[in-house]
Structure 1
């Protein structure tokens, strides 16, 4: 349905092309090509590509993660590994997908990464000093694996279902807690 509306909108207001690539009259009325399905219309009537999952995976920094060779690790999906003890603890002591996701963070990500990263890659909205601190986006494949594993475990154990948004909010809150704990530890060290 969305695609039909988009086709209609494009037919009513065709995208202006560069002069070196003019559109023939017979091309104006054709449907969207397969290549155009990954494009959106920018405010200035420019065509913009949406990055695919594979392109986003290339941007991921695998040094954020413990990895497969870090000892006794358990594969949770998408090539992401979690410390086995933490994964077992998360599965046994949790009663919701949000609990599992929060616990898995510490078994997948290095502590210094949890301190620097945000779920969206954007700086915190409040505090000018915090906005100036360098932030990195959370490893997208790891985030996806955590969410999918948490949902799968919740279904298997017949826990109350949680939405993607609820799980992401839970992960973001855990990151805030880790950063606050780190800030407090740094303040205590500075006093000594």
Structure 2
């Protein structure tokens, strides 16, 4: 297995691994078709600290910051977390169900956690994101496509409109798509089957969509 590929166990070797207890089995392990993009920072607007990983792994000290009081008892996780410098953390095998989407639906299907992979970007709705994050996200997307039958990429705001707003108006969907396409084109020489499987991948356009 190439280091850039996702293993049969659902773990991506380039990512730094932290195991989250906030995960369980998917209803159908073969039904993984949706990639969901989020943003997160703890405390809000503060980057580089350990608190996001602590939240996802049930180790957050709620007394560290007053804003953490609202998180007490929250059981949440994501498959991946991409820091501002492009480093990628993974908390849950993509084969399993992470608890990232909450109350959600896409194309008439509810419970998006059942059939999606969640990726958190370190940031806020008003901060924008770094080129290194888009590059890492594109690399991760291609790697996931090599293992799972992904058909759509959406923001949390698209699958939970009115309840969630991330990744927000400053997330550049077109730059993400172009970065992904460029990477995919480079890999086409060695992995033509991957390109064929990726032909129908649909990206959100940056605006909430009807369910």
- The structure that has the greater radius of gyration is 1
TM-score range (shorter-chain normalised) is: under 0.3
**TM-score (structure 1 length as normaliser):** 0.28
Which structure has the highest helix share of the two? 1
**TM-score (structure 2 length as normaliser):** 0.26
Which structure has the highest strand share of the two? 2
